[in-house]
Amino acid sequence: MKAKQPRIAEIQTLRGFAFLAVVLQHAIGHYAYLPEAGIADGAMLAIELIAAKFAVPVFIFITGLVLFYNYQERVHASSFIRKRCKDIVLPYLIWSAIYEIAFREDGIPLGQELKRIYEYGLTGTASYHLWYVIMVIQLYLLFPLIQQGVFRIRAACSTRQIVALLIVLTIGYIWLTALQGTISDAVIEWNLPVLTPLFSEYADRNALYFFIYFVMGMVAGLNMNRWKQLLLQWKTIGISLYVLVACALFYKIVSHFSVNGKIIIQYNDTLLVQPFMAVFLMISVVAMYIVALAFQEHASERFKRIFNYLGHYSYGAYLAHALMLTAATFVTDRYLLGWNVSLRTIVAFVLCTLLSVFVAQLLSRFPLGRLLTGTPAMKKG
């Protein structure tokens, strides 16, 4: 049996960062559009949202990195997919049913309810955060084929040719994000089974529109030492570029708060699949990895343990967090009514994080509970 690859210390830290960023985004989504949210709240929440938008791209990046790092030889498709069905798909399906039941409409017959659970499980629409899981499941299912293609390209091409191909893919991806609306209109007109909904109604969970982050993870996973070396060598430029583009995005967001002379807080400029955001998010992935490397080098052991803990339970906590956010915002809306919207957002974020990780950790202690988290309890030490 082939020996396991050495553990990448910063990956759990990166997962922890991404999980916190997801929760923060959804807490912002609850409070940003309240009538009492003023322009100052809109600006503050815009800064927080920009800082948190790396979450989904980083999760996809980690998926690509870990898969290509751990599977340096050709995978056996059946055993690979079986494991992912157990660890990723099954918990997702159970939580889809939980969300459908928890937020069900009154008076719906049982047969119709079961049909809806099936449809929601297939489309990731049982809750607003499950779109990501459906999207990443596509990458897992396609990985054996993707891996074969990558290995053939590596064997047939020189390093220079591969770099050129990566540049073309990057430019092509940015162009693709600009064409999403055009593609959607075309497939609606063609009315093709599967493809029409995948590129129109459910385009936001089509893995094609997120492939570049998986490719970035692939590049890192296949060239781990060189990847880290380059990031450390160019860290000042990487972080500076991130700050510069983040400032430009902030200006863009705030400039669109004024609509027909009215102040309307909206964050459409941060939608993931559009050219400027694609550039920002690719830079964000690099910047967050640089931060994770610095964290591993300089943080105290206590903070490292905290983020290792967050990273370990991140999938189960992610699945649970929408339900926990409902509980958290119930508390903040009831007991902090009249507080500043930005402060209520932060309190809800903290409460949701604590509840989500606690639930994931508690469930992981039990054999049946693990079916809901895909992760065993963390070993002591």
Percentage of the chain surpassing pLDDT 70?
A: 97
pLDDT of residue 1: 38
> What average pLDDT score do residues 61-89 get?
95
- Top pLDDT among 333 and 377 is at 333
Structure tokens at 146: 């993707």
In total, how many domains does the chain have?
1
**Res. 59: pLDDT tops 60:** yes
Residue 4, domain member (yes or no): no
The answer to whether 272 and 281 have CB atoms below 8 angstroms apart is yes
Residue 306, domain member (yes or no): yes
> What average pLDDT score do residues 7-21 get?
96
Band of residue 210 on the pLDDT scale cut at 50, 70, 90: very high
Average pLDDT of every residue of the chain: 93
238-295, pLDDT tens digit by residue? 999 999 999 999 999 999 997 666 788 999 999 999 999 999 999 999 999 999 999 9
Residue 380, domain member (yes or no): no
Residue 33, domain member (yes or no): yes
Give the range of the structural domain holding residue 369, as residue numbers without chain letter. Answer: 9-373
CA distance 171 to 184: 20
CA distance 353 to 23: 7
pLDDT of residue 115: 79
Band of residue 367 on the pLDDT scale cut at 50, 70, 90: confident
pLDDT of residue 347: 97
Residue 57, domain member (yes or no): yes
Band of residue 371 on the pLDDT scale cut at 50, 70, 90: very high
Cα Rg of the chain, angstroms: 21
| Half-sphere exposure for 353 (CA within 13 Å, toward CB) | 22
| Half-sphere exposure for 336 (CA within 13 Å, toward CB) | 17
280-337, pLDDT tens digit by residue? 999 999 999 999 999 999 999 999 999 999 999 999 999 999 999 999 999 999 999 8
The answer to whether 135 and 208 have CB atoms below 8 angstroms apart is no
| Half-sphere exposure for 116 (CA within 13 Å, toward CB) | 17
Phi-psi region of 265 (alpha: psi -120 to 50; beta: other; left: phi over 0): beta
Residue 2, domain member (yes or no): no
pLDDT of residue 106: 66
**Res. 112: pLDDT tops 90:** no
pLDDT of residue 3: 60
pLDDT of residue 245: 98
**Res. 142: pLDDT tops 80:** yes
**Res. 17: pLDDT tops 70:** yes
> What average pLDDT score do residues 144-153 get?
97
Band of residue 107 on the pLDDT scale cut at 50, 70, 90: low
pLDDT of residue 156: 96
- Top pLDDT among 292 and 378 is at 292
In degrees to the nearest 10, what's the CA dihedral of 142, 5, 238, 241?
20
Residue 284, domain member (yes or no): yes
Residue 3, domain member (yes or no): no
